[in-house]
Amino acid sequence: MAIGMLSDGWYAVLTGAALLFLASLLAPTPLSVDPAAPVVAVAFLLLGAWQGRQGVPAEVHPRRSTDRTG
């Protein structure tokens, strides 16, 4: 891995964390202020959890070598 480059797994984990953070900011917004905020918060929560679910296994499980020369 080159310095400064994120793998696909880390990119998914960080994107999921950002979406979960945004969901936590939007969730307490009262319906009288913005009726769509709770709906968007739930969508961000689901997408963030899904992104994290995609990224964690990609980083936890060892990668198989694609080198078939040996």
Q: Considering the entire predicted model, what is its pTM?
A: 0.76
In a domain, 20, yes or no: yes
Range of the domain at 42: 13-56
34 inside domain = yes
Q: Of 4-13, 24-33, 40-49, where does mean pLDDT reach its minimum?
A: 4-13
Q: CA nearest 13: which of 45, 44, 53, 43?
A: 53
- CA neighbor of 13 nearest in space, from 48, 41, 65: 48
Confidence of residue 46 (pLDDT cuts 50, 70, 90): very high
Q: Is 33 buried (19+), middle (13-18) or exposed (0-12) by CB count in 10 A?
A: exposed
Domain count, the chain: 1
User: Residue 16: exposed, middle, or buried by beta-carbon count in 10 A (0-12, 13-18, 19+)?
Assistant: buried
